A and B are shown apart, each in its own frame.
Chain A
Amino acid sequence: GAVVSQHPSRVICKSGTSVKIECRSLDFQATTMFWYRQFPKQSLMLMATSNEGSKATYEQGVEKDKFLINHASLTLSTLTVTSAHPEDSSFYICSARDRGRGELFFGEGSRLTVL
């Protein structure tokens, strides 16, 4: 079964609203989580690295005020797309590093559609 869970798996929202996506590690503690974005028929691009208890590290070109990341606990990181616009429509995937085993696991992904 999935060891990293994302919620919601699909979300449709109106332009201008904010959307929060959760990424949970189900049976391990994750000091580090990662958020990826995947446009249709394209590869996964790392957006940011989320560290528990500290600020996220964003990749070049990713707007930190647009994509708010919070990693408040060892099992949960959230990505909030603020004031979403149609160009933010994408597939967002998180991954989490198991602190104990050192392995990385991917979530099932969340498909965001902004109307």
Chain B
Amino acid sequence: AQKVTQAQTEISVVEKEDVTLDCVYETRDTTYYLFWYKQPPSGELVFLIRRNSFDEQNEISGRYSWNFQKSTSSFNFTITASQVVDSAVYFCALRVYNFNKFYFGSGTKLNVKP
């Protein structure tokens, strides 16, 4: 069975602080994809990143970085120098290869205060 756990329900930081959102996943499949999505108050899901299970390289995109560690089944997301516009709910998701079903975590609400 597949499962994604985001233990942090809500995080509040002050602007310019760094913040890390945790994601732990469970799957018995050897080939899978991991995703992060941002959901602002308007509701739409904004795609941030996709990683496949064979690529453990960390990735950096501007202020965003992702740390994928298969040994701990974690795919954590760090925002450096956070901004108020980063305030949103962030979802981590898992999709196994050849299946289209997404397994979403419960989401982490990030509040960035000025």
Question: Which A residues form the contact surface with B (CB < 8 A)?
Answer: 2, 32, 34, 41-46, 49, 91, 93, 95, 97, 104-109, 111
Contact = CB atoms under 8 A, between A and B. Distances in A.
Contact of A32 (B47, B100, B104, B105): B100
Nearest to B4: A43
Name A's interface SS.
Answer: strand
B45 interface: yes
B43 A44 contact: no
B106 A43 contact: yes
B25 interface: no
Contacts of A41: 109
B101 A43 contact: no
B100 A43 contact: no
B102 interface: yes
Given A34-B101, A97-B100, A42 B43 contact: no
Contacts, number: 42
B104 A43 contact: yes
Nearest to B9: A41
Interface string B9-35: 000000000000000000000000000
Given A43-B107, A44-B91, A49 B101 contact: yes
B45 A46 contact: no
B43 A109 contact: yes
Contact of B45 (A32, A34, A49, A106): A106
Contact of B100 (A45, A104, A109): A104
